Structure 1
């Protein structure tokens, strides 16, 4: 498979390295990046191009990685489709309602099978086990869901320092980080949200909570950020939230509460799916998933 990369950031480098390890026959034929990028990870240097169009014209790849910053995705997906290339796009695919409709028009024109989305949580063991329990009728008709995603301070600080700190670039914290979870529960209920109420803000990464000069602040710089990066997560020009709560009613009648916080030392990513026959609960961080029968209490 011949792959070209649009957006050579840390995520693209990581994924490309995995491809080379698991599929050594993969050939990376070129990359284009609008900012400062590097292909130093590769044993064989990857050709760099000055524009996406030049790269696609010269390399004729089988697949295009769209791993540029979120707000650029739509333009890069459009260009790839116009060149007849299948797309593998990083999540979130787009960042605004207007971009969503524009993407829908592109998919209607070129075919939805031309774009693959990197919502990798769908393929985890926990989700596979959860889907099996649903298919086997162990949970029954879903009544309600309780879910949360709490990330550790080192990771939350990364978002506050990185380009993702700006809504105009990332689409917001819930879209950037929690789209995996929200996609999962759409899949679990088999329906879309009908009504949503949501509120949140920034409560932790504020100037008044910054470490004193003599305090150890290394935890806030563990995760590297590059493009448009700032050094201090407590004094930044970003506008994303660090905590948010959402209440969702689905078209199926099921309801969900979801909460996220990006400054939680005891990191976890929990879910509890409750139905007429039983419940499934688990944690992606702690690595468990169990089903309990509503009538007998057996697991």
Structure 2
């Protein structure tokens, strides 16, 4: 299994090292990155001056796209047109509605099954267990949901210093960070959002809130920024939000209230799913999932902070679970993964529509977007 890499960043190193541990038969045969910064965390491999030359010379079985978001579309296109059998792209896949349609058309032409995506939370034990309960009908029909993703000041400052602070590079915070969450709630409702509304802005990472002491300032530089970075998260040239609330109405009639904030000292990433026959409540950070039937009896009470998988890797252990599934898929031991490239594009559209709603102050009807998307032919 020959793997070629574009974008030798920290995330690429984390995923690839885990995958190589699980798949000892795999090898990295080359990389493209005009400004590599984490090569010390990857096995030694040759560097190529372009993606095209790398793919032509190495003839990989898998092309790993780990570059900044704005480069994904062009590099995925090169992989598809070069005939690479499998492409893995990090999320979010593309940065605009126009790019979404362009990629959907490419996938219809070349085959969506050739592209895998790193929406890692679909692989988490939380979602494995919740999918089982949903399939068993424990919750009945999903009626309403509430959820959040709240990240600590050290992580929020990273976004305000990193290339992700600029919507042109990242697509915006809701897309870059919360596409995971939006994908999960599409999965849970079994449908796409039909209308969305949103409010948000930037109130924490502004000059008036800059730290008064060096000791406090250290918090905001814990997580290293590399490409296109800036030093001061409170006076940066970024245009992303640091808080946002969202309302989503789904094609099934279910609704979601979602909240994200980048300056929360006690992090959590909670969700609560209310159905006609029960409810499920969980928190990725605190490591639990409780499922309760409508008569008050407990169907499941999972504590993921204990057991053999506790503390296994990043994303609440989901990175390792994802790589196990990827290895099985690449070895052709299974013919499907828990999340598809189409799922990722749908989650991306939801995130982009939420930012449109926030910017315009209007409820956004997604029906015309879905009609265009479906018309591209990708499934």
Q: Give the TM-score range, shorter chain.
A: over 0.9
Offset, 1:195: 0.5
Per the alignment, residue 205 of structure 1 pairs with: 205
- Report if aligned partners of 2:37, 2:226 keep a CA contact under 8 Å in 1: no
Per the alignment, residue 57 of structure 1 pairs with: 56
Per the alignment, residue 170 of structure 1 pairs with: 170
Per the alignment, residue 67 of structure 1 pairs with: 66
Q: Which SS does the other structure have where 1:295 is aligned? A: coil
Q: Which SS does the other structure have where 1:137 is aligned? A: coil
Q: Which runs of 5+ in 1 are unaligned?
A: none
Partners of 1:294 and 1:38 in 2: how far apart? 50
Per the alignment, residue 111 of structure 1 pairs with: 111
Per the alignment, residue 186 of structure 2 pairs with: 186
Partners of 1:17 and 1:260 in 2: how far apart? 30
Which string of whole-angstrom CA distances, capped at 9 and with x for unpartnered residues, describes residues 66-115 of structure 1? 11100110000000000011210000000000000000000000001011
Offset, 1:290: 0.6
Per the alignment, residue 23 of structure 2 pairs with: 23
Offset, 1:260: 0.3
Offset, 1:23: 1.9
Per the alignment, residue 377 of structure 2 pairs with: none
- Report if aligned partners of 1:146, 1:256 keep a CA contact under 8 Å in 2: yes
Which string of whole-angstrom CA distances, capped at 9 and with x for unpartnered residues, describes residues 3-44 of structure 1? 00011111112222212222222110000013344522245x
The higher relative CO (CA closer than 8 Å, separation ≥ 6) is in: 2
Per the alignment, residue 81 of structure 2 pairs with: 82
Offset, 1:298: 3.9
Q: How does 1:144-293 map to 2 (within 5 A)?
A: 144-213=144-213, 215-293=215-293
Q: Which SS does the other structure have where 1:217 is aligned? A: helix
- Report if aligned partners of 1:39, 1:46 keep a CA contact under 8 Å in 2: no
Partners of 2:220 and 2:37 in 1: how far apart? 23
Partners of 1:42 and 1:190 in 2: how far apart? 38
- Report if aligned partners of 1:71, 1:169 keep a CA contact under 8 Å in 2: yes
RMSD of aligned residue pairs (Cα, Å): 1.2
Q: Which runs of 5+ in 2 are unaligned?
A: 300-379
Offset, 1:297: 4.5
Which string of whole-angstrom CA distances, capped at 9 and with x for unpartnered residues, describes residues 206-230 of structure 1? 0000011455211101111110111
Per the alignment, residue 4 of structure 2 pairs with: 4
TM-score (normalised: structure 1)? 0.97
Per the alignment, residue 303 of structure 2 pairs with: none
Change (3 A) 1:38 1:278: closer
Partners of 1:188 and 1:61 in 2: how far apart? 35
Q: Which SS does the other structure have where 1:267 is aligned? A: coil
Partners of 2:294 and 2:40 in 1: how far apart? 54
How many corresponding residue pairs? Answer: 298
- Report if aligned partners of 2:10, 2:38 keep a CA contact under 8 Å in 1: no
Partners of 1:219 and 1:251 in 2: how far apart? 42
Q: Which SS does the other structure have where 2:258 is aligned? A: strand
Change (3 A) 1:259 1:35: same
Per the alignment, residue 357 of structure 2 pairs with: none
TM-score (normalised: structure 2)? 0.77
Q: Which SS does the other structure have where 1:219 is aligned? A: helix
Larger helix proportion, structure 1 or 2? 2
Partners of 2:191 and 2:167 in 1: how far apart? 27
- Report if aligned partners of 1:204, 1:263 keep a CA contact under 8 Å in 2: yes
